[in-house]
Amino acid sequence: MIQKLLIANRGEIAVRIIRAAREMGIRTVAVYSDADKNSLHVALADEAICIGPPEPAESYLNIDKILSAARSVSADAIHPGYGFLSERAEFSQACSDAGVIFIGPSADSMRQLGAKSDAKALAVTVGVPIVPGCFDPNASREQLREAALEIGYPIMLKASAGGGGRGMRIVRDPDVFLDEFSTASDEALKSFGDGMMMVEKLVERPRHVEVQVLADTVGNVACLYERECSIQRRHQKLIEESPSPYLASHDKMWNEMADASRKLVKTAGYVGAGTVEFMVDEADSRFYFLEVNTRLQVEHPVTEAVTGLDLVKHQIRIASGMPIDIDDRLLIGDRTALTGHSIEVRIVAEDPAKGFMPSIGKILAWAQPTAPGVRIDTGFGSGSEISRYYDSLIAKVIVHAEDRASAIGKMIQALMDFHILGIQTNIAFLLDVLDHPDFRSGQFDTNFLARAFADWTVEGVPDVIGAISAYAASPSSPNPALSLFPKTWDQTDSFRNTK
């Protein structure tokens, strides 16, 4: 069994992994940049090592520094979390070469499934449906332009590497293809170090549905149901849930999707936790393979809620050579094993009044909900600094209830009870999305936010809230987090939430 685990990440996912490891009796090691020296994950770990300046390339993306840190404390395993190095085959290989257990798939299976173009080629080989397109990793710009004309517009340009909506562009007019290609490729190069692109037919109103898989070294592959991830803003997921309100009434599609996921995972010899992503076209009741995320997903807690499993613990057990040991119904994807409904929202440090620009600075006060069935995953709190160097995600709120309607109500209440002062967040936006009739009815697709919230603006903040914030920011303020704010938050009038 693993004795000491180094977490090659930061923020809420580092905290999440530390807590799971601690429950298993495993000592933990945090790594941090100069910008994160006072972060929660550093405080929680048994040991912590600074690995460089704030820039990711000099710290969290530096394989040599992370392996050096692991050697210095005799860590026998590394968990990459998500983002940063989590989907880099060279990192998995470097860990293996150094004799350190990588909590994730092998470099070989990551290469087969990590790049979208390679994964699509494998999907074709095993008979998994894909959207028409050109996925040759060596295709030139001109070849992709010709392929787009042959496929027919509109088309979608996608980066071959990476994810998270970066390096993606919808192109409706052949005359702007080259400009959009350059923009998308440059963005992909800056984000992933790889500017290769691919092109595929655009499905106008798709749903984004993904399947959580767990695979062990003895051939077991568990498909732990689906997550609906269609609520996206600029290709960035904001709200995820399980089960999908669409697949809940389409058992045949679920069985086919689960079978397709198993085929891909087994063919690639994949071991560990991963996510197989699909696009669902409601117009013709078909689904198409998109990609495989060879890591833990940000939205994994909703799967944990409806299955009762701890995916991080299972990752660690699988990496230690243990077989998957779960209820047989969960192993085969029997939907009678699903328990209730779960929703997750992402709270990000962005200013809705300024076009959702990142909001950086110090969190002056923080109060989070503590109700039954509500889980908060975060690496921040009162006094934390939000840096310009990293992702804007500061917290995930996950709720679990007996059905979808109850889960929506519980989430709205939880967000009304979440208060963050000192920076701007998207809480008001999330509340309006959750209350929209189309979201409540489950009638939405990946373009829902662009249509329904194109002209959305944040409501004005009441004067009293502005005065409190100004007072908190004042150098002469004695200790607002302990004195003024709790009194204000205890009120039950219309000012209890900044919405």
Q: Which residues are catalytic?
A: 295
Q: H or E segment at 51?
A: strand 47-52
Query: What string of H, E and C letters represents the secondary structure of 135-204?
Result: CCCCCCHHHHHHHHHHHCCCEEEEECCCCCCCCCEEECCHHHHHHHHHHHHHHHHHHHCCCCEEEEECCC
What are 351's strand-pairing partners?
357
The distance between the two most distant Cα atoms of the chain, rounded to a whole number of Å, is 67
Q: H or E segment at 453?
A: none
**Phi and psi for 67 in degrees, rounded to 5?**
-65, -35
Q: What does the buried/exposed string (b/e) look like for 108-133 if buried means 16 or more CB atoms within 10 Å of the residue's CB?
A: ebbbbbbbbbbbbebbeeeebebbeb
**3-class SS at 227?**
strand
| Bond into 105 cis (ω within 30) | no
Distances (CA, A) of 465 to 326, 421, 472, 473, 484: 49, 9, 11, 12, 12
| Bond into 129 cis (ω within 30) | no
Q: Comparing C-alpha atoms, which of 266, 283, 141, 260 is closest to residue 202?
A: 283
Query: Do 304 and 310 meet the contact criterion of CB atoms below 8 Å apart?
Result: yes
